[in-house]
Structure 1
Amino acid sequence: MRSTNTSGIHFVLRMSRGKNGKAAIYVRIVVDKGRSEIALKRLIDIADWNKVKGMAKPKNVELKALNSYLEETRGLLTSHYQEFIIKKQLVTADAVKNKYIGIVEQENTLQSLMEYHNLLMKEVLAYGTLKNYFTTVKYLKEFLLKQFKKSDIYLTELDYQFITQFEYFLRTYEPTDYHKGMANNGVMKHLERFRKMVF
């Protein structure tokens, strides 16, 4: 999720996936300690492969064209990785792979998570306790509208800044009815319920 992630794009051969004495070329995506591979549907003689550089030996036009294809693949994967970083989204090797091959990952939202939690807890928690969760959800909805001008947010967008801003919102909240503003204990209870729903 942050620019401190370590990443790499490497090309490797797989003899077991090749045919007619040739090896299959795979691209390996590495993000932090996770890795994922994609079969590029290209074959090559081992003698024509530079293992150190992870590229074909440019001995002829076909091998030069193969290297151009590999560099183009590297560029696309790198741009997908950078897109996750720029948008401050969670980035994994599988996420970069899925974006490259066209799989759209369904992102969960805060609203859907809260609804799921409260539906699940309906059979477990006493009504009085569950009612407190409904109140926390109400404040979160108001906070989203006021702070972000929208009714929902992706879970990948939740960060420390979101939590501190929500805390500030609760501490400075001015009720429109006869109730008073929240004391420290009330604020901490809402933050605790928010944490239980999300983490």
Structure 2
Amino acid sequence: MSKSTFKILFYLRKNQVNKDGTVCIMIRLSLNGEISQFSSKLNIKPDAWDTVLCKAKGNTLKARQLNETLEDIRTSLKNHYRDIEVHESFVTVEKVRNAFLGITAKQRTLLELFKKHNDDARKLVGISKTPATLAKYDRCYRRLEEFMKAKYNISDISLKEINHMFITDFENYLRTESKCNENTTAKFMQTFKMIVIIAKNNGWIYTDPFSNYKIRLKRVDRGYLTDAELQKIMKKKFPTKRLEQVRDVFLFSCYTGLSYVDVRELKASDIKISFDGKPWIMIHRHKTDTLVNVPLLKIPQMLLQKYEGQLPKGQLLPVLSNQKLNSYLKEIADLCGINKNITFHLARHITFSYPLKTRNLQILSA
């Protein structure tokens, strides 16, 4: 690769003569064929200028002072060039000129960038982002806003001012003031780091303040249901229809492995006859958009038949909000004598002592 050649030249603008007969000394910067010309704010009479050496002629005090000033300008320009070369992805003569003249780009701030990121994500909800993902971004934005106000009494911070101490202070704030556990804190830090990476990729900061910071996610045993516990839930007669419906939706997820949002959005058109002549669920997962093919076993088939034609808006199952489902599942666990924190997500954590069989269909179709 050829080396960049940065050159500085002083010359006279002879086409504009001042009333005292002096002309302006101009500065020309050149770099890889790119040129920028601007005034040095210094004047000299044309006959006192050495066009070969590009400086004032003679050894008078005035000439020496002018030449020293020109040399200072040259040194300053070279220093700006080296600084930009070290800290930024590429150098231009315009950047060097602006740095010398004190013209700097608008300082971008953390919350300004974060807000733009979230606004862009908001437009993609339903396309490539989920409401839950957007809510995660908005929560992190609010936590950073609260943290800066509480810790530093500021409403925002320049991206270039974010350092290792700012990061660790935010982590400590999340653990102490916000009472976040280890993994919740780590997820906030992951979102924060994502914004910092965006800033670095756009050249708004030169170094990554997260370079010496490790985000640690603690491995958590989310628990599971055994086959015996699942049988208890399946056989239980519930006193209210709402608990029975919640049980049915939960069982459907147990036997298909589908997440809450995938069960909620399941449509009749998602069920197709596959190569084996049997019905399969064929969908793209809402979270990852990956294609999933799930054989529709007898129990989930019976569950779908149980509610066929009974629900509005083409729903296949009576799916409540995730919050209500989880609340009712705790009630179901108590009624079944299961001493576990049952959530809808737990439906995907089942251990079977033997292959799934078509048991208790009379309960499901009752």
- TM-score with structure 1 setting the length: 0.59
1:94 counterpart letter in structure 2: E
Query: Contact 1:111–1:153 at 8 Å: present in 2 too?
Result: no
Distance 1:131 1:110, change over 3 A: farther
Greater displacement, 35-44 / 64-73 = 35-44
Which of these residues, 158, 181, 190, is aligned with residue 142 of structure 1? 190
2:6 aligned with 1:7: yes
Greater displacement, 68-77 / 95-104 = 95-104
**In structure 1, distance between residues paired with 2:134 and 2:105:** 29
Greater Rg by CA: 2
Residue 18 of structure 1 aligns with which residue? 17
Query: Contact 1:26–1:39 at 8 Å: present in 2 too?
Result: yes
Residue 76 of structure 2 aligns with which residue? 76
**In structure 2, distance between residues paired with 1:78 and 1:156:** 21
Query: Contact 2:122–2:134 at 8 Å: present in 1 too?
Result: no
Residue 40 of structure 2 aligns with which residue? 40
**In structure 2, distance between residues paired with 1:17 and 1:93:** 24
Distance 1:77 1:49, change over 3 A: same
Q: CA deviation at 1:134?
A: 5.7
SS class of match (1:53): coil
Query: Contact 1:88–1:157 at 8 Å: present in 2 too?
Result: no
Query: Contact 1:80–1:96 at 8 Å: present in 2 too?
Result: yes
* Structure possessing the higher relative contact order (Cα contacts under 8 Å, 6 or more residues apart): 1
Within 5 A, what are the aligned runs for 1:120-135? Answer: 120=120, 122-123=122-123, 125-131=124-130
Query: Contact 1:18–1:43 at 8 Å: present in 2 too?
Result: no
Q: CA deviation at 1:176?
A: 5.0
**In structure 2, distance between residues paired with 1:151 and 1:100:** 28
Superposed CA deviations along residues 138-164 of structure 1, whole A, max 9, x for unmatched, are 99x628759xxx7874322789xx9xx
Alignment size in residue pairs: 163
Residue 62 of structure 1 aligns with which residue? 62
**In structure 1, distance between residues paired with 2:4 and 2:109:** 24
Distance 1:84 1:111, change over 3 A: farther
**In structure 2, distance between residues paired with 1:110 and 1:4:** 36
Residue 195 of structure 1 aligns with which residue? none
Larger helix proportion, structure 1 or 2?
1
Structure 1: which 5+ residue stretches go unaligned? 166-172, 179-185, 187-199
Distance 1:145 1:80, change over 3 A: same
1:44 counterpart letter in structure 2: I
1:127 counterpart letter in structure 2: G
Which of these residues, 156, 163, 180, is aligned with residue 203 of structure 2? 156
**In structure 2, distance between residues paired with 1:144 and 1:121:** 15
SS class of match (1:8): strand
SS class of match (1:103): coil
Distance 1:18 1:131, change over 3 A: farther
Distance 1:121 1:17, change over 3 A: farther
1:130 counterpart letter in structure 2: K
**In structure 2, distance between residues paired with 1:97 and 1:50:** 24
CA RMSD of aligned residues (A): 4.2
**In structure 1, distance between residues paired with 2:98 and 2:73:** 14
Q: CA deviation at 1:69?
A: 1.0
1:11 counterpart letter in structure 2: F
Distance 1:7 1:115, change over 3 A: farther
Residue 93 of structure 1 aligns with which residue? 93
2:190 counterpart letter in structure 1: E
Q: CA deviation at 1:29?
A: 2.3
Query: Contact 1:11–1:55 at 8 Å: present in 2 too?
Result: yes
**In structure 1, distance between residues paired with 2:116 and 2:25:** 43
Query: Contact 1:25–1:39 at 8 Å: present in 2 too?
Result: yes
SS class of match (2:129): helix
Structure 2: which 5+ residue stretches go unaligned? 141-186, 223-287, 289-366
Distance 1:121 1:55, change over 3 A: same
